[in-house]
Amino acid sequence: MSEQISDRAGLPGLVERLMQFVPARLRRGAVVVPVVRLSGLIGAVTPLRPGMSLAGVARTLERAFAMKHAKAVALVINSPGGSPVQSRQIYLRIRQLAAEKKLPVLVFVEDVAASGGYMIACAGDEIFCDPSSILGSIGVVGGSFGFQDLIAKIGVERRLYTAGAHKAMLDPFLPENPDDVARLKALQREIHAIFIALVKQSRGARLKGADDTLFTGEYWAGETSVSLGLADAVGDLRSTLRTRYGDKVLTPVVSPPGGMLSSLFGRKSPGAGTAASLEAIAGLPDELISALESRAIWAKFGF
């Protein structure tokens, strides 16, 4: 009896998933809102741990916006940030596709949309979040370590040859140069200004906080983010879309091309095998460092 009850309880979900493959004309007025998930660090991490990039998400976005009978596109974002260049390029591609297809973009923040993750979220016409989501961190950060005393202590001599007065700027094995730090801070201010302008253009009059509050690199939980105008409302994807488009709304998740077949049949890229295994072994030190850096970035936001 318990097995029968369990099977019946699972039928609605199964039917809903199968309905995603039924032609729209047979869905009796069902509305389609394709969903794209954008998660992880943004930009190159290591060859074995690629981060989110325009090259990696472009085709998925294009497929979502090209879906027939779509009334909107939903983006589910969960990213602590990363490369400002890749973040802005993804933002621009989303806005370009939205304009071409004349479709609204609804963004749903999961755990975090911070720094570059929030920049991408600004591509949404509306931003929704959970009360415990983290949003903001509108700033620029860069860091390094200084090893010059360590290598001197263990008897290692640094030998560096350059052409160009500033080619070795901020080398971690050389003493810190105040002029180099000043140049870095000027670069950060320039990138920060681009970020601020993008947020202001996207959010416009919805921003409620002062510049010296919103653009300091600080971040906030969902309710406060809404009150500051960084998000529009607290809400989850399913409830929000059903309220807006009705209970029959269909939300097919658009996966990267080939992702489903590859996972089902275990297809590998050409040349995979021994060479790939050796590359993986050789890259383990970088992989470990990358994993630690990634963990540190997520931990900054409590995750």
Q: What pLDDT does residue 274 have? A: 38
Map residue 55 onto helix, strand or coil.
Answer: helix
Q: What pLDDT does residue 297 have? A: 60
CA–CA distances in Å: residue 176 to residues 40, 235, 260: 32, 47, 50
Q: Does one domain contain both 130 and 252?
A: yes
Residue 209 lies in a domain: no
Q: What pLDDT does residue 279 have? A: 46
Q: Does one domain contain both 166 and 290?
A: no
Q: What pLDDT does residue 268 have? A: 39
Residue 210 lies in a domain: no
Residues forming beta bridges with residue 6, ordered by sequence position: none
**Which CATH number fits the domain that encloses residue 72?**
3.90.226.10
Q: Does one domain contain both 119 and 235?
A: yes
Please state, in angstroms and rounded to a whole number, the distance separating the CA atoms of residues 150 and 138: 35
Domain boundary among 154, 173, 203: 203
Residue 208 lies in a domain: no
User: Residue 148: which domain range?
Assistant: 142-203
Residue 65 lies in a domain: yes
Residue 183 lies in a domain: yes
Q: What pLDDT does residue 181 have? A: 86
Q: Is the CA virtual torsion 121, 127, 130, 134 positive or negative?
A: positive
**Counts for the chain of helices (H) and strands (E), in that order:** 12, 7
The residue written with tokens 């809400």 in the block is 235
Please state the φ and ψ torsions of residue 278, each to the nearest 5 degrees: -65, -40
Rounded to a whole number of angstroms, the distance between the first and last alpha carbons of the chain is 41
Taking alpha carbons only, the member of 54, 55, 64 closest to residue 101 is: 64
Q: What pLDDT does residue 175 have? A: 83
The residue written with tokens 């989501």 in the block is 133
- Tokens read off for 134: 């983290």
**10-residue averages of pLDDT along the chain (303 residues):** 38 44 58 95 72 93 94 96 95 98 97 96 98 94 81 83 82 83 90 96 95 95 97 97 94 78 42 39 53 57 52
- Give the count of beta carbons closer than 10 Å to the beta carbon of residue 270: 5
Q: Does one domain contain both 132 and 54?
A: yes
Q: Does one domain contain both 29 and 175?
A: no
Q: What pLDDT does residue 168 have? A: 79
Q: Does one domain contain both 28 and 154?
A: no
